[in-house]
Amino acid sequence: MSDLDLATILERYRGEVPPGPDGDRTVRDGLATGILDTTEENVRRNRLTAEEIDDLLTYLGWNLWDQLAARSTEGESGLIPRQEYETLTFVQEWMRFPYFLEELTRVLGVDGVIDLGATPRREIGNKVNHLRIWASAVCPLIGRGIALALQIGEPWERLAEVNTLLQFMRRLQHGFWGGGPGFASARQYQVPVLDDSWIKRFCDEETRLETSDSLAAFRRFNGATELLGFLIHFDNRAGLCDTGPYPLPDGGFMIVRDHFVNEPAYWWSETVAGLPHAVTQAMFFRPTEDIRVTINDIGTTFSQPRDYLRHLSGVAVYARDAWDTPVSEVRLLDAGEMQAIERAASAATIDLYERIAAMSRRDRIMAGVHVYLREMMMPFARQAGVWDRFVDELQFDEISPLTAQAYYPLVGGTAMQILPPLFMLGEGFVRVGERATW
């Protein structure tokens, strides 16, 4: 661990590189290749060079720090051991995800993977989103960093698996953005990817929040569905994702936010029976002051000044009843149904909290592993039509021997020792170096 103090670590990456657009430019200027941009040629290559892989790992180290530094004020859950289950899941993903991503590529072909990445341009209320595109490589690569920190393996080993993770992510990025920089952090943190037809529909169906009662009702709906989305996904951000900002003709902007509140893949989903799979909120802002809005690679909105929600002036809210509901059947919600969903979500949150509180610490950790592992693969595999095969035939949920071996060290306190340098100093993305060969 570096001798840098916490304030310095949060202010500048490794004490040197700033956050935001300036940091992005600084890191990119130091790269040896142009691999950060996706092209028709470089996403179709079977192999990246070791130099290209190292450039991507270098950028990812700063990119992860940039997100965590911005979120440094987020609180820890007193209920769910999130760091412990995330750490274990990262190791499991490093051991298993390259195989499943290769299988997805075999089933879909490279062009099919690229088209899969374009899903968020066409659909709302779909878990195939830019958060999971980012996580498809980043989470298992953090697992690689944890394994190396535990002195399991060498940086130059398993080059093929590292390549698989990065190229799968980059193919999804190519579909998502249509080429060019693959990360929101390299695009001024602007993610206005939805097709114009959606934006027109939202504008046509906007309800103005012209009274304090209507504004309060929406805030209750937003808060209840967001909280449930967090809790059903065991206190992680898999339950929500933002895109935008989208400029409005009158000079304002729109943010489009998905909350995923009903996920049948988990046994505790009986607590949310009757709720839609996802609710999507198109939120209209017409500020009376200059405001800078950014969205990062995990779908989180920030603004300067911070309280952008006080400028909320209208909404259009939609439901997608099941994960496989055709997007043509996504429906606009009226005030009455929003109120019913808000009340059901609040009741489900209390029920679910009590169920989780009654679980042992180990059961909470393993349930978190179950969620985090599935959330980073299941949406892609569902859409490819192979999820049931992954679970039943290929034993997707089976814990690898290395993950089982890492359980007690990681949940016994080691996670708290190794995660800060991995997350905040880029040590989770160890370069493969000159010794790496094909």
| Burial (0-12, 13-18, 19+ Cβ within 10 Å), 165 | buried
Query: 373 and 236 share a domain?
Result: no
Q: What span, in angstroms and rounded, lies between the C-alpha atoms of 363 and 21?
A: 41
- Other CB atoms within a 10 A radius of the CB of residue 19 amount to 18
Residue 24: inside a domain, yes or no? yes
The model's pLDDT over 273-316, given as tens digits with 9 standing for 90+, comes to 999 999 999 999 999 899 999 999 999 999 999 889 999 999 99
Where a domain ends, among 339, 357, 375? 357
- Other CB atoms within a 10 A radius of the CB of residue 350 amount to 11
Residue 436: inside a domain, yes or no? no
Asked if 224 and 330 touch (Cβ cutoff 8 Å), the reply is no
Of 91, 122, 73, nearest in space to 300 by CA: 73
3 state DSSP class of 182: coil
Residue 370: inside a domain, yes or no? yes
Where a domain ends, among 314, 331, 357? 357
Mean pLDDT of the chain: 93
Q: Is the dihedral of CA 419, 156, 370, 407 positive or negative?
A: negative
Residue 437: inside a domain, yes or no? no
Residue 315: inside a domain, yes or no? yes
**Domain range for 145:** 6-187+360-424
Query: 209 and 345 share a domain?
Result: yes
Residue 379: inside a domain, yes or no? yes
The model's pLDDT over 394-420, given as tens digits with 9 standing for 90+, comes to 999 999 998 998 888 888 877 777 777
Query: 265 and 277 share a domain?
Result: yes
Query: 263 and 349 share a domain?
Result: yes
Q: What span, in angstroms and rounded, lies between the C-alpha atoms of 297 and 133?
A: 9
Query: 200 and 328 share a domain?
Result: yes
Arithmetic mean of pLDDT, 126-153: 95
The model's pLDDT over 149-203, given as tens digits with 9 standing for 90+, comes to 888 889 999 999 999 999 999 999 999 999 999 999 999 999 999 999 999 999 9
Q: What span, in angstroms and rounded, lies between the C-alpha atoms of 100 and 393?
A: 12
pLDDT band for position 3 (cuts 50, 70, 90)? low
- Other CB atoms within a 10 A radius of the CB of residue 4 amount to 16
Query: 21 and 128 share a domain?
Result: yes
Query: 79 and 150 share a domain?
Result: yes
Where a domain ends, among 337, 357, 377? 357
Q: What is the pLDDT of residue 193?
A: 98
Q: What is the pLDDT of residue 9?
A: 80
Residue 432: inside a domain, yes or no? no
As for how many domains the chain has, the answer is: 2
Query: 218 and 177 share a domain?
Result: no
Query: 203 and 234 share a domain?
Result: yes
The model's pLDDT over 201-243, given as tens digits with 9 standing for 90+, comes to 999 999 999 999 999 999 999 999 999 999 999 988 899 999 9
Q: What is the pLDDT of residue 75?
A: 47
Query: 212 and 353 share a domain?
Result: yes
Q: Is the dihedral of CA 267, 270, 275, 276 positive or negative?
A: positive
Q: What is the pLDDT of residue 405?
A: 87
Query: 247 and 179 share a domain?
Result: no
pLDDT band for position 13 (cuts 50, 70, 90)? very high
Query: 373 and 231 share a domain?
Result: no
Residue 430: inside a domain, yes or no? no
Q: What span, in angstroms and rounded, lies between the C-alpha atoms of 77 and 257?
A: 23
